[in-house]
Amino acid sequence: MRIRFDGRVAIVTGAGGGLGRCYALELARRGAAVVVNDLGGAVDGGGGSTSMAQAVVDEITTAGGTAVANHDSVADRAAAQRMVDEAVSRFGSMDIIVNNAGILRDRTFAKMELDDFQKVVDVHLMGSVNVTKAAFPVMKERGYGRIVLTTSSSGLYGNFGQANYAAAKLGLVGFMNTLKLEGAKYGIKVNSVAPTAATRMTDGLWAPEVLDAVAPEHVVPAVIYLCSEDSPNGHIIEAGGTYFARVAIVEARGVVLGPQATAEDVAARYEEIADLSGSRTFDSGLEIATTILKAVSGASGNADGP
């Protein structure tokens, strides 16, 4: 079954180059009308230009697709609302958001200025929140929506010199985990992609001989699937170099220590507590709370019962 987006309207933020450009081109090729958003600034968020977004729009229209350029900053709430309003007024709908815009201000935490920490959070985390917040009522009213957030292996696992970026990227996973629950009854699905690719933001990281292997085009299949009608809900997909894997937060089986437990008891049994063999995933905080209550009431020693 071929995935198509005929009649769908998509916003792709940070789509003036790299991954965002690839997403926008493919969505348009598969029939979507696309709002190509890009501030046109530098990797650190400075400056701005209309040329990057417009160049991608020109590529799309030359190929017979439908697109319009938008140059607003996702970090500006009013601008995010204008972006969504433009999509609805121009194309009559708002069905898909790919929150891809981002900046880098890398430095070790000890040397990092808090303004640089805040700016990265404002663009990655709050930028995604701003655009999604503006679009959510439209999707809710229509009974349909697909939202893709961009997390990162840096957020999932950590990366030296990227405390600001990592905090924002893992924050998006928490955002997804709640929004997947709140949007489900309205036909809105929310997922995340953790891409690995050679782009402006990773310039100098990759050796020349591997650039083709980690081209941004290789991430596109995962994002297109997450934008589709048959997408999962609340999943993280790691994607890069034609490698795809679901990532999940897992929890060990757990140990019930009883009401008189001490720190020494935790220390004595920490090997069991930390044992991830037989680990599980949970779909909500309520589910884990229910599991804990069941384990405590059973007092079996393991959280999932005898």
Q: Which tokens belong to 218?
A: 């290789």
Task: Find the catalytic residue in 144, 165, 225, 270.
Answer: 165
Q: What is the largest CA-CA distance in the chain?
A: 71
Query: Is 186 labeled as catalytic in the residue annotation?
Result: no
Q: To which residue do tokens 């679009």 refer?
A: 135
Edge-to-edge strand ranges of the sheet holding 236-240? 66-70, 33-37, 9-12, 96-99, 145-150, 188-195, 236-240, 243-247
3-state secondary structure 228-260: CCCCCCCCEEEEECCEEEEECCCECCCECCCCC
DSSP character for 184? G
Per the document, the length of the chain is 306
Sequence-distant (6+) residues with CB within 8 A of 171 are: 121, 125, 155
Known catalytic residues are 165
